Amino acid sequence: MRHFGAIDLGTNNCRLLIARPAADGFQVVDAFSRVVRLGEGLAQSGRLGEAAMDRAIAALRICAEKLARRHVCEVRSVATEACRSAANAPEFVARVYRETGIALDVISPAEEARLAVLGCQTLIDREVPRTLVFDIGGGSTEVVLLERRRADGDAWRRLADGGLGSDLLMRGWASVPWGVVSLAETEREEAPTSAGRLEAFFRMKARVSRHLVDLRRVAGRDLALLGASGTVTTLASLLMGQTSYDRARVDGCWSASIGLRALGRKLAAMPAAERCAIPGIGRDRAELVVAGAAILEALLDLSACERIRVADRGLREGILRSMIAAADHPAHG
């Protein structure tokens, strides 16, 4: 059976999926995810740090071993915001290839947004006129406005190539230059009071909102929301009362906007040590979940919708769908 591999090296995480084609798209046969914090300190220095690069390469070695074990010959490995913005990214990409054999493709924000949408396409409600799909990353947040095709739809740009079909078109998109790592680093010192911590939360939200003005003008408020990211899945899981993350319950669920807002602010008001003790957050997410909640609230402000769809899927799944579609239709791919 032919296997395909997808690696997503982000600003915060390194993720791998290995899958084989199936009737409904693909079946996952192996997966890997590790927090590497590749973008740690990038906002201040403009460069990838040595420790961060070492962590990323250690994770990529594991990915390479898994790919070899499964005899995967068709692989696409992408890197996103940290490698787009770091001055020493070319040297890092060359080092990755030299030490692991993995050839990283540093993709544009537009390609990242397209792949993220393709990854969660099966959760898009085709009966809704407009859907805002967003993916909160470590170094940036990709936001895509999808619209069902109308009689005059030829004027819009099709998302294309990956099975979305002719009824969905991309009406607009934005790449917000803030993700959970880069935004968290703008508030280096934790305030000693809950009021001070909330003020920091709203400062972070304001930084994100400034980049959504043009999209808000195009989109209006009558929008369905579909969110794909660790922030959204973590908050949705906590709202459900989960003490141990259950992907089967979270992926595709609906989560109340008002509940997500209230939970985000509650977490923001807590000291980091208290957040660490919450099952489902822990030390890795204690800092980042507040920045993620600030980004999420800025995005929730774009819609009057009372609930959002939650997706525990994204870039890797989009890569796999594109690769499998291209293999099935070589001339088109």
Cβ(80)–Cβ(10) below 8 Å:
yes
Helices (H) and strands (E) in the chain, counts: 15, 12
Segment 308-327 shows an average pLDDT of: 92
| Closest by Cα among 203, 249, 256, 228 to 317 | 228
CA distance 130 to 140: 23
What's the per-residue H, E or C state across 94-133? HHHHHHHCCCEEECCHHHHHHHHHHHCHHHCCCCCCEEEE
CA distance 119 to 137: 14
pLDDT in tens, 108-152: 998 998 899 999 988 998 788 999 999 999 999 999 999 887 544
**DSSP labels for 58-103?**
HHHHHHHHHHHHTT--EEEEEE-HHHHH-TTHHHHHHHHHHHH---
Helix-helix angle 288-300:257-269, to 10 degrees: 150
Please give the pLDDT value at position 217: 86
pLDDT in tens, 176-224: 999 999 999 999 889 999 999 999 999 999 999 999 998 888 888 889 9
Please give the pLDDT value at position 206: 98
332 confidence band (pLDDT: 50, 70, 90): very low
Domains and CATH numbers, the chain: 4-107 (3.30.420.40), 111-311 (3.30.420.150)
Q: What SS3 class is residue 193?
A: coil
Please give the pLDDT value at position 150: 58
Cβ(80)–Cβ(182) below 8 Å:
no
CA distance 146 to 219: 10
Segment 253-278 shows an average pLDDT of: 96
330 confidence band (pLDDT: 50, 70, 90): low
Half-sphere exposure in the Cβ direction for 161 (13 Å, CA) = 16
Segment 259-280 shows an average pLDDT of: 95
Distances 319 to 4, 161, 284 between C-alpha atoms, Å: 10, 11, 26
Segment 308-326 shows an average pLDDT of: 92
pTM here? 0.87
| Percentage above 70 pLDDT, the chain | 93
CA distance 83 to 47: 9
